[in-house]
Amino acid sequence: MIDEKRKDWLRGAYLDRITEAGMHYAADHTHFVDAEWESYIAGEFSYLTELSVDDHSYLREQAGYEAWQRIRAALGEASKTAISKLHRDNDDVISTDASFAVGIGWLSLLHHASGRVRTYPQGWRARIVGGKEKLGCLVLHIACDYDARGCRSEVERLREEVRLRSLGICEICGENGRLRLSGYAKTVCDQHAAVMGEFREDDGLWADPWTWGDDAGRIDDLLAKGRAVMSEYPAESAELLRGMDPVRPRATQHVMDESNDPLRSTPIGMRIDDDTWSRQGREQELLIEFGWHLQDAVNGAAVKVEFLDGYVRDEVAQWREYAAQPLTESDEEFLHGYLRDLILEEYERIRIKQAAERNNE
Ligand SMILES: [Zn+2]
């Protein structure tokens, strides 16, 4: 072990070599991969025979930090440039203040979505207001007039199409990819898989994290470990969906027919839709506006019960920027309570289903 004083001295005396080693690695790597770095840096400072083994290890660590920072800055720059171009090319359909927390590999999907929104009737007032990565999926946020004929089903179909396609595209580079699980979930190609470190045992068994709610067998894992739970869904499916036409059938007529409403295709969505029309006033407005956000949030609620309040608060806070009008304190209070109850009910529904299945075995 070396003390802080020694570290300061080393950093000062060998700064040029630290910088050089980091810069060299960063120059031909788009991502920092631990294993690659280790072999690159292994003997890098050993020629400094006047230094101890601990000194060497400290210099390697500093060089790694330097490389990582440079790679991160370059990535941030590339992403900023690509996102401004996306805004510039699509300023008629993307809100000026829309933010996109996604890798540049998915930009083609955002361009595709923009093109589709451009074809919508003026009366829908549809605008892309943001997008983010969630459990390896691209979740798109679109503001529109849900009451306009045909609007809701088409907009939600587009969102789901983009989400499913993202599960077949590397978020980093745009090549063919699939959902992978290590300490976190991310959709990447074979080449970029290394970025994620060590994979979980069940990596490759799940292709769509959104469908976990239908898989009773995984709820124990969810509650026990507080991590994302994926349902069994053939891994090929995401690949098959890539490049295919939208996966949901188009309504034969542009008439809001409840049975064709995509929100009603899952038990949670159906529950939200029923609640929407049985309530009135501001509560109804909020459920109309945030129905899909609520469903996404329930599906993404892979948290232990004791973390639920924090999760609910964070989710609702993120919706502020998409709100048609500013959310008041009582709006948020309603959304917190509603979302929390819905998640607890969903946990319970799955637990009951699971118990029933065990009894049948
Ligand atoms: Zn890739």
- pLDDT by residue (tens digit) across 131-166? 888 878 898 988 888 788 888 888 888 998 999 999
Q: How far is CA 269 from the centre of its chain?
A: 20
- How far does the centroid of ligand 1 lie from the alpha carbon of residue 81, in Å? 19
DSSP conformational letter for 98: E
Stated pTM of the model: 0.56
- How far does the centroid of ligand 1 lie from the alpha carbon of residue 195, in Å? 10
Which residues crowd ion ligand 1, with CB under 5 Å?
170, 172-173, 175, 189, 192
Q: What's the chain's Rg over C-alpha atoms?
A: 24
- How far does the centroid of ligand 1 lie from the alpha carbon of residue 178, in Å? 10
Confidence check: pLDDT of 182 > 80:
no
Look at 108-112, 208-212, 248-252 and tell me which has the smallest mean pLDDT: 248-252
CA torsion sign for 199, 205, 210, 211 is negative
- How far does the centroid of ligand 1 lie from the alpha carbon of residue 176, in Å? 7
- How far does the centroid of ligand 1 lie from the alpha carbon of residue 64, in Å? 22
Cβ atoms < 10 Å from Cβ of 226: 14
- How far does the centroid of ligand 1 lie from the alpha carbon of residue 172, in Å? 5
For residue 110, the model assigns a pLDDT of 97
- How far does the centroid of ligand 1 lie from the alpha carbon of residue 194, in Å? 10
Q: How far is CA 171 from the centre of its chain?
A: 10
- Cβ density class 64-93: b for 16+ within 10 Å, e for less: bebbbebbeeebeeebeeebeebbeebeeb
- pLDDT by residue (tens digit) across 14-61? 999 999 999 999 998 888 887 888 889 988 898 999 999 999 999 998
- pLDDT by residue (tens digit) across 228-245? 333 333 333 333 333 322
Extended beta strands in the chain, E state = 94-101, 127-134, 137-143, 178-181, 185-188
- How far does the centroid of ligand 1 lie from the alpha carbon of residue 193, in Å? 8
Sequence spans of domains, the chain: 4-80, 92-204+242-256
- How far does the centroid of ligand 1 lie from the alpha carbon of residue 27, in Å? 18
223/13: higher pLDDT: 13
pLDDT band at 304 (very low <50, low <70, confident <90, very high): low
